[in-house]
């Protein structure tokens, strides 16, 4: 007879540790009343701003490349647009 299935109370070995067993989850609160909390908040904000600027830069480069190829970049039409024509 095979052993207990994964996830049953008799199975002591888990495939993945619970969130309480490891690092805090992504939704963990940052205590901004402490110096460490403020530092973490500022670092996360800087990374977010950096990522946003990279996305905008790539978008502008892609639009410029499309224009160079003779394309007219625009949003895709919708079903309603096709009905109006």
DSSP secondary structure letters along 14-43: -SS--GGGSSPPTT----TTSHHHHHHHHH
For every one of its 85 residues, what pLDDT tens digit does the chain have, with 9 covering 90 and above?
555 555 555 555 555 555 555 555 567 788 889 999 999 999 999 999 999 999 999 999 999 999 999 988 787 777 766 666 5
Tally of CA atoms within 13 A in the half-sphere of 69 that contains its CB: 9
pTM for the whole thing? 0.52
CA 29 to CA 23: how far, in whole Å?
13
So what's the pLDDT on residue 15?
56
40, 34 in Cβ contact below 8 A?
Answer: no
- Could you tell me the end-to-end alpha-carbon distance of the chain, in angstroms, rounded to an integer? 69
């Amino acid at each position: 007879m095979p052993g207990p299935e994964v996830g049953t109370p008799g199975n002591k070995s888990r495939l993945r540790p619970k969130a309480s067993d490891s690092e805090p989850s992504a939704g963990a609160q940052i205590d901004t009343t402490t110096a460490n909390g403020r530092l973490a908040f500022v670092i996360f904000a800087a990374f977010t701003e950096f990522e946003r600027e990279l996305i905008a830069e790539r978008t502008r480069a892609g639009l410029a490349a499309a224009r160079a190829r003779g394309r007219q970049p625009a949003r895709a039409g919708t079903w309603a647009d096709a009905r109006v024509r």
